[in-house]
Amino acid sequence: MRALGALVLSICSVLWFGGPVHAEKRVALVIGNSAYENVSRLGNPANDAAAMTTTLQQAGFDVVESRHNLKISEMRRAFRDFADKARDADVAVVYYAGHGIEVDGTNYLIPVDAALERDLDVYDEALPLDRILVTIEPARQLRLVILDACRDNPFSKTMKRTLASRAIGRGLAKVEPTSPNTLIAFASKAGSTASDGDSKNSPFTSALVKHITTPGLDLRKAFGYVRDDVLRNTGNKQEPYVYGSLGGDDVPLVPAKPTTLAPAPSNQADMRRDYELAERVGTRDVWTAFLAQYPEGLYASLAKGQLNKIAAEEARVAATEKARLAQEEKARLAAEGAKANEQARAAREAKAAEEARVAAEKQKAIEAAKVETERANTAAKAKAASEAKAASDAKAAEEARIAAEKQKAIEAARVLEAERASAAAQAKLAEQNAQDTKAQDNKPPGPVAALMPSEQAVKPAPPAAADIPRLLQTELRRVGCSQGAVDGDWNAASQRSLALFNKNAGTRLDVKVASLDALDMVKGRTARICPLICDHGFKADGETCTRITCKPGYEVGDDNTCQKTEVKKPARPVAKREEPAAAPKPAASAAEPKTRASGQVLCDPQGCRPVAQGCRIIQNTTIGQRQVCN
Question: What average pLDDT does this structure show over 540-546?
Answer: 76
What digits encode the pLDDT tens for the residues 315-352? 899 899 889 898 888 888 888 776 778 788 889 999 99
Nearest to 129 by CA among 166, 177, 78: 177
Considering only residues 76 and 617, tell me which one the structure prediction assigns the higher pLDDT.
Answer: 76
Output the pLDDT for position 101.
87
Residues of each domain in the chain carrying CATH 3.40.50.1460: 26-245
Show the 3-state SS of 559-586. Answer: CCCEEECCCCCCCCCCCCCCCCCCCCCC
pLDDT one-digit tens code per residue, 449-503: 444 444 444 456 778 888 899 999 999 989 889 878 888 899 999 999 999 999 9
Query: What pLDDT is stored for residue 178 in this prediction?
Result: 84
State whether CATH 3.50.7.10 applies to domain 26-245.
no
Phi, psi of 610 (to 5 degrees): -70, 150
Q: CB-based burial of residue 76 (10 Å sphere; 0-12 exposed, 13-18 middle, 19+ buried)?
A: middle
Residue-level pLDDT at 417:
85
> How much is the pLDDT for 31?
95
How far is the C-alpha of 617 from the C-alpha of 621, rounded, in Å? 13
Per-residue pLDDT of 577-591, as tens digits, reads 555 555 555 544 444
Q: Do residues 219 and 258 lie in contact, with contact meaning Cβ atoms separated by under 8 Å? A: no
CB distance 87 to 138 below 8 Å? yes
Q: Measure Cα distances from 499 to 472, 532, 619 in Å.
A: 13, 16, 11
- Burial status of residue 500 (CB atoms within 10 A of its CB: 0-12, 13-18, 19 or more): buried
At residue 95, φ and ψ (nearest 5 deg) are -120, 130
**pTM (predicted TM-score):** 0.41
Between these two residues, 334 and 58, which has the higher pLDDT value? 58
Predicted confidence (pLDDT) per residue in 164-181, tens digit: 666 666 678 888 888 888
Can you give the pLDDT at residue 430? 79
